[in-house]
Structure 1
C-alpha cells in the first residue's frame, strides 16, 4: 500500500504522541514493503586499499634500491629476467579485466600475480645490496646451534646424497615454490574466494621483509661452505655472488641471474609453510600443497645448503607473522 494512503487512514483525533508513534510504525512497515518489493543491490566491499598498500611497499623498496645503487655506484645488467616479462603480462591482463572488460575475480588474480613477481624482483635486488653491508658471518654460531640440539648436518647431507632418487625428489621439490604459489593464487579464488589470496600475499610480503631484515644484519654464507662440501653440489652460483658482493668485486647486479642469498632464516622453509597454510581446508589443494611443500622444507638443509636452525627460524617467522596479522584482523580470511 502506498505510504500516502496509509497516512490518510490514521486517526488524527489521537493524542500527538500516539499519532507520532503510529506514523513511525507505519513508516517502518511501508519501508519494509518497499525493500521487499525492490531489494537493494548487493554491496561489494572493495579491498583495493589492500592492493594499493602492496604496490606502495613495492614502490618504496624499488626507490630504496635505486638510491642505494646510485650511492654504491652499482649498475644493473642482464634485464632479460623471465619475471620481468611475466610482470608486464600480468599487469596488462589486470588492466584489461579491471577497466576494459571488467571481471573482478580475474583482475584480482592477475594483480596478485603481478604483485608477487614485482615484489620478488625488487626485494631480491635489495637482498643483494644488503650483502654489501659486510656484517660478520654467523655460520659457526648456526653450526654450533645445530650441534647443541644433536643434529649432525654432515651425516644428513651424506645420507641424502647417498640416495639418488630421494636426492632428486628433494631437488625437484626445492625448485617448486614459485609454481605452487602460482597454482594457489589462481585456484584459491575458485574454492574459497579472493580473500585467501590477499592473505597469502600479505603473509608472503611481511615474512619476506622480516627474513631479509634479519639476514642483512646476521648474514651467513652456507652450510656447504662451512662443512667443506661445495664440490658435491651442482648449483652454487649464489655462493659466487655472495662472495663477490662482500669482497667488492661485483659492481653490476645481473637481474636475470639473481638468486637467493638469504641463509638465516631460511626463506625457502618459510615459503613452504606459507603455501601449506594458504591451502588449509581446501579439498585436494591442501594435501597436494602439504606433500610438495613438506618435501621442500625437508630438502632445505641438503639441497639449499641451510643449517637446520635456519629452517626452524624461517618457520618461526611465518608463525609470528600469521599470529600477528590475525590479531590485527588484517587481512581477514576464512
Structure 2
C-alpha cells in the first residue's frame, strides 16, 4: 500500500505539471501569436523546448523555488498520512487549474498549488509556515504584477520615444523578429519557475514516504519527468487563456508585445534566482500587458476583463485550498 500511495502521488504530481503546462503556455506565447510574430504551433513548440531547458537551468543553478515549496510553506508531512496530504493538495490545485482554464481565466497555477498546500495542511492539522507564506507568496503576489506594470509602462514609453521618427512598418517588422527572442526568454523563465514547483512537491512525497530527506539531492528521474510533463502540457496548448491574454485585455502590436515579454521574463529570473519566490508567471505577464496597454490611452485596456482576472487571482489561494481540504477529508474518512 505504501508503494502504491507513493506512485499515485508522483503520477498526480506529473498530472499537475501537465495542467500547469497547458494552463500557462499562454503566458509565454499569447503576445507573440496575437501580433503574428509566430504561428501558434511554432510558438507552442518553441515554448515547450524552452520550458524543458528552463527546468534544468532552474534546478542546477540554485533550486531555490523547489526548496521553498518543499519546506517553506508547510511542515513537510511524513508517513502514509503525509502521502495523503500531498495527494490532496495536488488534486485541489488540479481542480482549480481545470476550472479556470475552462472559463479562460489566466489564474496562477503556482498559487493554486500553494493554496492546496495550505488547505490540505490546515485540514490535516500540520504546521503552516505563515511567515514563509507571507514572504514568499503573498508579498510577491502583490508586488510582482505591479512591478511588471510599472516597468513595462516605462519601457514602452522609452521605445515610443526612441522610434518616434522611424517608419512604422519597418519598426513593426523589426519587433516581430525581436519578439521571437523575448517569447523564448519568457518560456525559459516559466520553465525555471514552474517546473521547480512540481519537483518540490514530488520531493515532499519522497520525504513523506521515507525515500528522501530534506537535504537530499533531486534525483535525475524527478527532474526529467517534471520537465517533460510541463513541456508536453505546454505543447498541448491553452487556447482559451491565450485568447484572453493576447486579445481581450488590449489589442497588442509587436513593440508592445516585445516590451511586455521582456519585462515579464526579467522579473521571473529575478524572483527565481534572487528572491527564491514561487511567483505567478500569469500575474507578471498580465501586469506587463496592462502596463504597455496603458501607454496608448486609459480606455485601451479593457478594465472589465482585468477585473475578472484580478478576481481569479484573489480567489485562487482560498478556492484551491478549500478543494484540497475537501479531498483530504474525503480520503481521510474513507482510508483513515
Give the alignment's TM-score, normalised by structure 1: 0.29
**Structure with larger Rg:** 1
What is the TM-score of this pair, normalised by structure 2? 0.29
